[in-house]
Each structure stands twice: as C-alpha cells, then as structure tokens.
Chain A
Amino acid sequence: MTNKRILLFNGNQVTAYLWHNSQLQEETSFLPHPEGLQAFASYLQQQHRSLFYWLTDTTEESFQLEEIPYVQGRDRTALIARRLKQYFYGTPLSTTLTLGRSSTGRRDEKILFVALTRPETMSVWLDVIRQQETTLAGIYSVSLILASIAPHWLATEKPTLLITQTASGIHASFFLDKKLQFSRLTPLNLSTVQSIKAPGIAQTIAIESVKTYQYLVGQRQLKPRTPIRVAVLLTPEQRADVESQCKSTELLEFYFLEFDAIAKREKLKPSRHTAPQPTLDQLLMHCLVVKPPAQQFAPPVEQHAYRIWQLRLALTAVAIIALISGLLFAIKTAYDTNALKQATSNAITQTVLTTQRYNALLNSLPQTNISPDNLRALMARYESIHKNTTDLAPLLSHLSDALNNNSAIELTSLEWKVEPTLSLPPTARLIPPNKTHEIAQSNDGTATPPTAPPANHTGQSVVTLKINAQLALGLSSDLRAQKTLIEQFAQQLQNTQTQIYLLDMPFEVGSEKLLKNLQNDVNVADASAPAFSLMLVRPLVIPK
C-alpha cells in the first residue's frame, strides 16, 4: 500500500505530514536554505515510494471570473489556455473552475481562472521534487479544497461568505450557488496567532467580512446593498468571542459552523501524536487525500511521475483483477465440474445397477447368441417375409371349386406367379365385379378398357393364375352356349379378393375385328375344341 504524504507550504517553509488511517501526523519541516533543501531531498529520497500532495496556503493566489463563449473540445482548451496566459502571465501554476452556464444571453460559460501568482517561491522546492522523481499527485491550494468540499457544509445556495482560519491566516471564500467565486487569505499578526482564543481573531473575522463584502461589490460580483450570509467555521473555544464580535447586520447575516461536527462528518480522526483537537489545516489535508479536487495547479511535467505511478497502479490493479477473476471463474467452473463428475458417478452407478437388472432379466430368458435388439429386428423381417409368401393351394382350391360346377370346361394349363407388379397382355379385359354379362358386350364391340387392380396402383405384389382351358367339342358350333358357359365360370371365380381378366375367347365378334362365316370356320376346324384363357389376380398380402 502506498503511503500518502502532504507537503504543506505556507510561503516560506514546507511541513511534511503523513496521512494514515484518516489520521495526520506531522513528520518534519524544511526551510528554504541549502541545508533545508538538502534535507528535503533526503526526505523525498527516503519516502520515494510515497504519493505526495502539495498544499499551498499563501496569499499569492489570484482569481478572475469571466464568461467565455460556450465551445467544446480543442477550441475550449485553446481558449482557456489563452485566457490563462492573458490573466496570469509568467506562472505555470494555474487552473480553472467551471461554474456552469449563464442563464441569459448567449448562455456563455462562467469560468473562474485561478493561479498561484508567485511560483518562484515554490520553484526551489518543486525542482527538488522533480530531481528526486517524487510522485506528486498535484499542487493544490486551500481555496481549491474549499471549492471542492465546502459546498457540502453550506446550508443554502444564496450568496455566502465562508470564513475559515488556518495557520497562515483567515480565508474569506465567497460562494454563489455553492460555487466558489473568490477567495482571499488575510495573514494574522504574530501577536494574534499566539492564542487561537484571542479576541483579535474574532475582530479580524468581523473586519474581513465587511472588507470582503465591499471588495465583492467593488468587483461587481455583488450588487450594492445585496444581503449575504456569512458562515464562520469555529471551534467551540472560539465561539463565544466570535459571536460577540460578529453581529448580523442588514447586509451581513452571520451564522456559525461547528468545526467538530464537520470534522466528524469528513471522518477525520484526531492525531495521537499532536494535540487532541484537530485543526482546519488537518481537516483540509485529510480531505485533500480522501477526496482530492478535480483541479490542481501543477503543469503536466510536474505530474509525469504521478502519471507513471497511476499507470503502474492501473497495470497492477488490472493484473490482480484478472488473476482474481480468473481464479474465481476457475473455482466456479471446478465446482460445476465437480457437480458434473458427481452426476456422472451417479449415472455410472445407476448404469451398473440397471445393467445388472437387465442382464438378470436376459439370463432368465432362454439362452441365445443374438442380442435382443437384433433379435427383434431379425424376427420382424422374418415376419414380413412370412407375410409376403404364399402358396399354390388357395388359388388352385378356388379354381377347383369353380370347376366342380362346370364339367364342360377342361383345363389345359395353369401359370401361377408371384409378381412385384401386375403385367397384363394388351388384349386383357377386366371383368367388372358381378357384371359378367359385360363380357358379351365386349364381344359385341363395346370393349371394356383394361384397368389395373388396386394392388397394381399401390405397388403391392400380386399373385396371378393364368388359366388356359377349353370347352367340350360339342359346344363348338354353339357360340352363345360357349359365351354363357365362360360367363358362368368367370362369375364363380370372382370374389372380393379376386379380380378376373379375360385374356382370350374362343371367338371374336368385336366391332373392331374382322367377322367371317363362323359356321364354316367351325367346320374347317372341326378337330379342335373352343379354347379360352382367364387370369385371376389377388394381392399377395390380403388385408384383414
């Protein structure tokens, strides 16, 4: 942890304080002679790891309030830098406080330009600091610290003059809308400093209040006859004297702030090494360390070491954050991993138990060398083959039944086939169910176009039986009897599962065919019996 130290400069000597745990401890003082500077260099060298704050409490501080056009970015920076050079030529120790924008007109931006006007008094010290490469956070003044913290102490946004007392003198700081507009230090005579309870201080406070009011009116920061409040920061010991001296008037309304209460609010602890009662200087130094003001006087070159320190701190912080984040993430991940492993372990145990039960069940089954899954698949396929296999017997038996009633029909040959798809000769004609009389119509020339059975449409395998048969020779000359007989035969063969196709007839009387003297033809072919052929078609798998 970096120690924080404050170098308090009162215009002549530098006093070093150590800030630790909200307590301030005075370490040593240095005077501006060669020995003092040498001692100062040695001190800085010893404390080279510390972070230093330079606090100036001198009268050489100047304020200029101005409204500048509202611009942003580089233009604003350039404009402010130009104004600082114009107002405070010759000092690099300057800064600005933004007081907001005007509510009227162009709404210009109100800027308070502040500078330490005698840099040469500090340059000997700052040179040593620069030589020692001391980490200097910034150069501050009492007014800058008050500008930062005093608004919290003030009760109202009305124009208020804050009177505070440090070791160097009495500060009169004017606030408007809780924003610092002006500040000045009135050094105290050595005689009055002898005792903090001296009535001289109270008198000085009263006088300075009036003088500052007149100055502000003279500077047109206040309109004439404008009443203001005067807040006086007091220790309990001072209160009686100051209250007796500072009576409210028509223009100045005095009220008093309790130093102890404010010190407590700012969490300043009394030093164990010095007087038990903290001073305003200590309070200011404490606030400087705890809540450093955003603005300070040091030019960038004075803060170079501080920037390096900040960079180093940032790198270290990022490193630690990265390491801690990584470790926390790893711990969380490891915790999750452990939970996963536990779940996996449970799953393994459960798997072993279930496998044992499964194996016990399998062992209770008849022994075989095929796994249950393979067995299921194989037997399912075997069942499907079983269903897709048929025999001669059903169709032959069906045919046999029909032949029993038709003794005039004699079979010559049968062709039984299992076919993936039904293929028919072009002359095949489907006999519509229970309409066998249409055979005659077909033979009369109104042929029924061949149509495929439903099995053919669905791509289902079919069983076909082609019947080649002949009629008794005695029917050769009686065509009508032949037709009737074939009709009856076909009708008997037909049922809901079986479709009948007429392939060939003993004679052709269709309109598209040539018709000749059939009687003569019969006489010529006296020796042959009338032959015909039919085809029975059934789906291979008959739906139940």
Chain B
Amino acid sequence: MKLSQRDFKKIQWAALLLIGCLLVAGLTVWLAVKQQKTARQENLRHTAAEREIAANLARARNEEQELRDKIIRFEALKQRGIVGTEQRLDWVEIINQIKKEHRIVKFDYEISPQRKADAALIPDGADAGGLSFMASQMKLTLTLLHEGELLNVLDDLRNQAPAWISLRACQITRQKTSPTAAVQPATNAAIQAECTLEWLTIEQGSNT
C-alpha cells in the first residue's frame, strides 16, 4: 500500500498522538526509574550505615572492657609523651638526670633527625589508626665500671623517657687496666659500651 501526501494528513494526528504518548510514557518511565535508582542508592547507603553502626555497637559491647583498657593505656602513652611531637628538651634533661644519678664517667650521645619508623623496626608499617610511628636514632657511648650500670641506665631511659625505647645494638668492650688507675679512681672504668637505640613516638594525625 502506497501512502500519498493526503493519506499522511489523515494519519498525522494519530502519529502525533503516538509520538506524544511515547514521549509521555518514556518521560514518566524515565522519571520513575531515576527516582527508584536514587531511592535504591539512598537505601543501600543508609542500610550500609545502619549495618556498620550496628556492627560497631555490637563490637563495642563485646569489647567494652578491652576498649576501656586500651583507652586507659592510650591516655597513659599520651600522658607520658609518647603520643605527640617529640619533646627533645625533656629528653636532654632526662638523659642529664640519669647521667647525674648514675655518676657515669663518660656519657656521650648523639640523636639523629626524626624519621618515619622503617620496616626493620615495625614490619607491619609505621601507619596505624590514622597515626604514624616516628623514630629518632640515638648513638650512645658510655664508659662504665661494670655491665650492671649499663643495664640500669637503659632501664632508667626506658622507664623515664617520653618515648618508647627500642634497643637495636650494643657493643661492650672490657678496657685494659691502666697503670695509673690506682691513683686516678675517677678513670677506673672497666668497660666501654656503644649502643644504638631508637626513640619511638606516635605522631598524632588530624583524623583521630
């Protein structure tokens, strides 16, 4: 069947109606689907948030005591100065105090610039919980009367320093007895120790 111009005129309103209906139907469907998509995304987002907070609550309830202990320990670390920026002036004062208390003949040290703790120190990585573990290396040279003094000095450092002290290496050498040692008791030291320590601190990030 061939359609003439006149025939097209006869069906033009039906064709326009079809186009109009298709447009209206298409638009309605598009809007409905769009709204449903948005609603689904919202639903997914909120149900995920609901599940997450529910899981957090359940875990927090289960680990309430553990969490409580951890907070106390964390606050203790903050209190001691392990969490936060390095307090090198405090370090120097504590070192001087320990030196004075133990009457160490020779107490030389050198602390390197701070760096992020490497894998040799923390194999799992320096970053955790939005905070970073930082390390400052200390080279310590001591002249001591006996090995016990070294252990005491290290214990005091570990107990008093506002940082976590990690001993990495220590060389202890027995010094040969000097002929003048009898008349100069101050230099009657028996051993010399050269130790490497890492002063670890936790630098607080912004997202805690």
Contact = CB atoms under 8 A, between A and B. Distances in A.
A524 interface: no
A347 B50 contact: yes
Contacts of A497: none
A323 interface: yes
Contact of B1 (A307, A340, A372, A382): A307
Contacts of B18: 315-316, 318-319, 322
A347 B46 contact: yes
Contacts of A351: 46, 49-50, 53
B5 interface: no
A308 B121 contact: no
Interface stretch (B34-42, B96-104, B179-187): B34-42
B89 interface: no
A481 interface: no
Nearest to B49: A351
Interface string B154-198: 100000000010111111111000000000000000000000000
Contacts of B28: 326-327, 330
Contacts of A374: 129-131, 207-208
Interface string B71-112: 111110100000000000000000000000000000000000
A385 B11 contact: no
B150 A329 contact: no
B49 A347 contact: yes
Interface in B102-127: 119-125
B179 to A, nearest CB: 16
11 contacts: A312-B11, A312-B14, A334-B36, A337-B35, A365-B71, A366-B75, A373-B129, A376-B70, A378-B130, A384-B122, A413-B173
Contacts of A319: 14, 17-18, 20-22
A389 B154 CA distance: 13
A376 B147 CA distance: 39
A355 B208 contact: no
Question: Which among A348, A354, A384, A461 has the greatest number of chain B C-beta atoms within 10 A?
Answer: A354
A358 B1 contact: no
Given A311-B11, A323-B24, A343-B43, A392 B74 contact: no
A366 B121 contact: no
B166 A358 contact: no
A52 B40 CA distance: 54
Given A334-B32, A389-B166, 6 more contacts: A312-B11, A316-B18, A333-B32, A344-B39, A354-B57, A361-B57
Interface stretch (A190-198, A255-263, A286-294, A416-424): A416-424
Nearest to A397: B151
A103 interface: no
Interface string B36-72: 1001101100110110011011001101100110111
B39 A337 contact: yes
A411 interface: yes
Tell me the dominant secondary structure on chain A's binding face: helix
A368 B7 CA distance: 83
Contacts of A521: none
Tell me the dominant secondary structure on chain B's binding face: helix
B73 A379 contact: yes
Contacts of A417: 168-170
Given A315-B17, A319-B20, A357-B57, A365 B39 contact: no
A1 B3 CA distance: 24
Contacts of B170: 392, 414-417
A336 B35 CA distance: 10
A318 B33 CA distance: 22
A308 B7 contact: yes
Interface string A361-383: 11001101111111111111110
Contacts of A211: none
A333 B154 contact: no
B130 A420 contact: no
Contact of B129 (A330, A333, A381, A392): A381
Contacts of B74: 368, 370, 375, 378-379
B36 A384 contact: no
A390 B167 contact: yes
Contacts of A382: 77, 202
A385 B200 contact: yes
A368 B71 contact: yes
A518 interface: no
A226 interface: no
A417 B167 CA distance: 8
B27 to A, nearest CB: 8
B146 to A, nearest CB: 11
Interface string A410-438: 01111111101000000000000000000
Top 5 nearest A-B pairs by Cβ distance? Answer: A326-B25, A374-B129, A378-B129, A377-B129, A381-B128
B25 A416 contact: no
Interface string A394-412: 0010000000000000011
A264 interface: no
Interface in A302-332: 304, 307-308, 311-313, 315-316, 318-320, 322-323, 325-327, 329-330
A385 B208 contact: no
A300 B208 CA distance: 85
Nearest to B68: A365
B70 A418 contact: no
A495 interface: no
Contact of A341 (B39, B54, B202): B39
A369 B14 CA distance: 71
A142 B71 CA distance: 101
Given A351-B53, A392-B154, A308 B10 contact: yes
Contact of A413 (B49, B71, B171): B171
A393 interface: yes
A451 interface: no
B124 A365 contact: no
A388 interface: yes
A127 interface: no
A415 B194 CA distance: 9
A350 interface: yes
Contact of A415 (B25, B166, B171, B207): B171
A392 B151 contact: yes
